[in-house]
Structure 1
Amino acid sequence: MFIKLLAFSIFISVNIYAEKISYNGYRLIRITPTTENHIQLLDSWEDNPNFDVWNRIKTVGEIVDVVLSPSAFEKYEPLFKLANLKYTILNENIQNILDAEESSMRRNAQNRNIVGKYSRYPEIVNFINNIVFDNPDIASSYSAGNAKTYENRELKVLVLKTSTSVKSVWLDCGIHAREWVSVATCVYFIDRLIKDFRNGDQMATNLLGYYEFHILPIVNPDGYEYSHSTSRLWRKNRRPNSGSSCVGTDLNRNYGYQWMVAGASNNPCSDTFAGPSADSEVETKAVEKAINDKLGNWDAFITIHSYGNFWMVPWGWGKPQIPDYNDLYAISKIGADALKSVYGTKYSIGSPANLLYAAAGGSFDWTYGIAKIKYSIALELRPGQGEADYTFGFVLPEDRVPSVGEETYIGLKTMIDAIRNLK
């Protein structure tokens, strides 16, 4: 086992940095819409593949961060001026932060322990396999949906449970390819929960005594690998679209509940392309099958994204308040307060449609609306607006991973235990 792992690590360290698309000269700009016409204009541009919105378009007075290539900046700058749409340049060349991220990863490449790192898909599969091998009393794994992605990768789910586990909790990460800190946080959660359980931590013991955890660290392995090997800011999966040269579907717009109602695109070139139909993607179907296979047994569904520091409850598709809103808000506050106690990181609580923007076809709307999992929760991890790291956006430096993992683990563990105590 050790020899195989060592050889694998050497292979990864040699091959982890394939030639990538350069973002040299790409600017990160901050736009401040001051009229409804500005919002409509931004909405009309959002589908354009050369207008990469990092934090979505909300309402008048709310900032919108956008990445533009040199040619795109030449195109849009006159339009900004014509519309009197104010903007500032936050970063003249985002390749600099990508280079810094890559440099930090190179320095850590020889470290075989992937916890606290931005690891590749094969490393994470190997990590899960080793956990199952080393912890046969509590760990097992399966392939969600017994299916393979377009590029022939499996969706590897780790199960952690004891002989007394009666109910289930689902945790997934990495539905959007470029959100690397999400994937790293799932890995951290796995490692820490096992260590706490082995060390006799009371809360971890109680949790594994009652719940079986199903943890899928990478919902979108094809897109995730592509974001490592080729295009750092890739978001969608990698399945080609019929009749278009543009590749990929936004998996968090593809779930078959209120599909295409809001915040999703029918343009295959858009980052928010919802797919040719609801539930069209292998990854979507695989997660739905895994949930349906234990329907009625789930106490919580948690999906982790980045970025913005948001602790969210349904709905994503629109602003109507769910019947269980007060219960979900209260349980979320317990988690967010516990997270804040670690490093002081503040999270806003509420629904995506009210905190951010309406976006239909999301996984936690489906689990709440169709699978009837009451405690369906979505997190947007660091960095949050007002923090020193905010302009890193999706390219959060790797050395922040352990801190993000720790605070998120404490927050989620505390929230899940509060759900358990409701029984």
Structure 2
Amino acid sequence: MKFTAAALLLVAPLALAGAVPKPERKITYDGYKAYRIATHGDAKSVKGKLASFAVVPFNLNTNEHFDVAIPGDEVAAFEALGFEAEVLHNDLGADIMTEGTFAPYQEVSAQAVPSLSWFDSYHAYADHVKFFNDLQGAFPNVSEIIDIGASSQGRQLFGIHIWGSGGKGSKPAIYFHGTVHAREWITAKVVEYLAYNFLTQYSSDATVKAIRDTYDIYILPFVNPDGFVYTQTNDRLWRKNRQSRSGASCVGTDINRNWPYKWELTGGASTDPCDETYKGKAAGDTPENKALVAFTQSLTNGKGIKLYIDWHSYGQYILFPYGTDYIQDVAKAEFAWTIELRPKGSGSGGFVLPAAQILPSAIEQWEGMKYLLAVI
């Protein structure tokens, strides 16, 4: 496939003292039309026919279908191929523009709980930080903001730790990750909703009380903060982190494929720095993964990890190891899952999920977590 500049943007070189670096242009995707193409078991043939198009790929597992965006000036030629295809976006750029109309964060007074209106819209990264600080500030005796390290661009890898009657750090860990892949905005919202309810429903819901009295809960909403910020400033479909590497023209590593366990095996990850699944030069060589490994090991060395979930979008799947190998085989989590959130099929938004689906997505995951944590 021929990839657009969206996947190949170069990081601006370090500026000399006093110089102002030239800003990167913003990718708008105006006029792009996105499709889900049925492969009928012949992905190779479909890929061959797409080779001449400036395709922006959405999905990496193409066994059943390709989800791709096509530039507006190539749509007629693409449709003339006669693929069995459903439309994901009639105008990807317009949908991104609508999704990116952020509501301002509603500031709260000291020890006041943020409003549930937070989940009516997507928000800028700085507002996510405020939300977590305010949420924790409303429950200072049973929660804390944790800092596990820094990203490649120096942003704090923060999270929230929540506990119950046993006291801080006294129980096995429930451990959640969000926004490993930068473009998966819905994941941050879902884990924020989980944190919100674990804190606010303790005194009113017997199931929540039992969960918190049985487990310590650790939620990291932004494993990849640099990439997330970049999706809001430059390229909504950016996936990797923003780490530049000596000798490489392309930027970014897939943090999820950088874990230092079975890293050397072929298949499932790429050694090409320009690839969406680039695994890095060496196992665990991203700052983000180094921080994650150290923090994860601290949980293992403490009371252990009962359940780990890495939240992603999209497709509506629950995936089991192997795929979260380090957490199960090295960190010894009893359960290690990946959950792929909404949407499932065509016409639902792909990575660019309408804001109206934030709360329904979060509620269904919350109900599932309450049930799961009550029975494991």
* Structure 2 residue 268 is matched with structure 1 residue 263: yes
**1:371 Cα shift?**
1.1
* Structure 2 residue 334 is matched with structure 1 residue 374: yes
TM-aligned CA distance change 1:49 to 1:282, over 3 Å? farther
What aligned pairs does 1:187-266 form with structure 2 within 5 A after superposition? 187-198=192-203, 200-259=204-263, 260-266=265-271
**1:231 Cα shift?**
0.9
> 1:66 aligns to what?
68
Aligned partner (choices 359, 364, 376) of residue 407 of structure 1: 364
**1:241 Cα shift?**
2.6
Q: Secondary structure at the match of 1:197?
A: coil
Aligned partner (choices 98, 105, 118) of residue 115 of structure 1: 118
* Structure 2 residue 300 is matched with structure 1 residue 295: yes
Between the aligned partners of 2:297 and 2:162, the Cα distance in structure 1 is: 19
- AA at the equivalent of 2:326: W
- AA at the equivalent of 1:169: I
1:366-407 deviation line (CA, Å, top 9, x unaligned): 101211112001100111126x52xx1001111211111111
> 1:95 aligns to what?
93
Q: Secondary structure at the match of 1:218?
A: coil
1:292-340 deviation line (CA, Å, top 9, x unaligned): 0121511111110011111121113xxxxxxxxxxxxxxxxxxxxxxxx
- Relative to structure 2, which stretch is displaced further, 276-285 or 375-384? 276-285
TM-aligned CA distance change 1:294 to 1:102, over 3 Å? closer
The 8 Å contact of residues 304 and 378 in structure 1, kept in 2 or not, is answered as yes
* Structure 2 residue 339 is matched with structure 1 residue 383: no
The 8 Å contact of residues 243 and 253 in structure 2, kept in 1 or not, is answered as yes
Q: Secondary structure at the match of 1:308?
A: coil
Q: Secondary structure at the match of 1:384?
A: coil
Between the aligned partners of 2:90 and 2:173, the Cα distance in structure 1 is: 47
1:173-222 deviation line (CA, Å, top 9, x unaligned): 00010100001111111111111113x21111001111110110111000
**1:238 Cα shift?**
0.5
1:58-100 deviation line (CA, Å, top 9, x unaligned): 43xx2211123357879x959x95xxx8354724531121122
Between the aligned partners of 2:60 and 2:344, the Cα distance in structure 1 is: 14
Between the aligned partners of 1:49 and 1:178, the Cα distance in structure 2 is: 22
The 8 Å contact of residues 137 and 162 in structure 1, kept in 2 or not, is answered as no
TM-aligned CA distance change 1:92 to 1:135, over 3 Å? closer
The 8 Å contact of residues 190 and 362 in structure 2, kept in 1 or not, is answered as yes
> 1:26 aligns to what?
32
1:214-264 deviation line (CA, Å, top 9, x unaligned): 110111000001101111111110111321221111111111222253221
TM-aligned CA distance change 1:68 to 1:243, over 3 Å? farther
Aligned partner (choices 241, 261, 279) of residue 274 of structure 1: 279
Q: Secondary structure at the match of 1:295?
A: helix
- Relative to structure 2, which stretch is displaced further, 202-211 or 23-32? 23-32
The 8 Å contact of residues 45 and 51 in structure 1, kept in 2 or not, is answered as yes
The 8 Å contact of residues 164 and 209 in structure 2, kept in 1 or not, is answered as no
**1:31 Cα shift?**
2.5
> 1:337 aligns to what?
none
- AA at the equivalent of 2:141: D
> 1:86 aligns to what?
83
Identity %: 28
> 1:307 aligns to what?
314
**1:45 Cα shift?**
8.2
Q: Secondary structure at the match of 1:52?
A: strand
For normalisation by structure 2, the TM-score amounts to: 0.81
Aligned partner (choices 172, 175, 180) of residue 167 of structure 1: 172
Give structure 2 stretches of 5+ with no counterpart. Answer: 1-23, 108-114
- AA at the equivalent of 1:98: I
TM-aligned CA distance change 1:163 to 1:49, over 3 Å? farther
Root-mean-square deviation over aligned CA pairs: 2.8
- AA at the equivalent of 2:56: D
The 8 Å contact of residues 147 and 157 in structure 2, kept in 1 or not, is answered as yes
> 1:336 aligns to what?
none
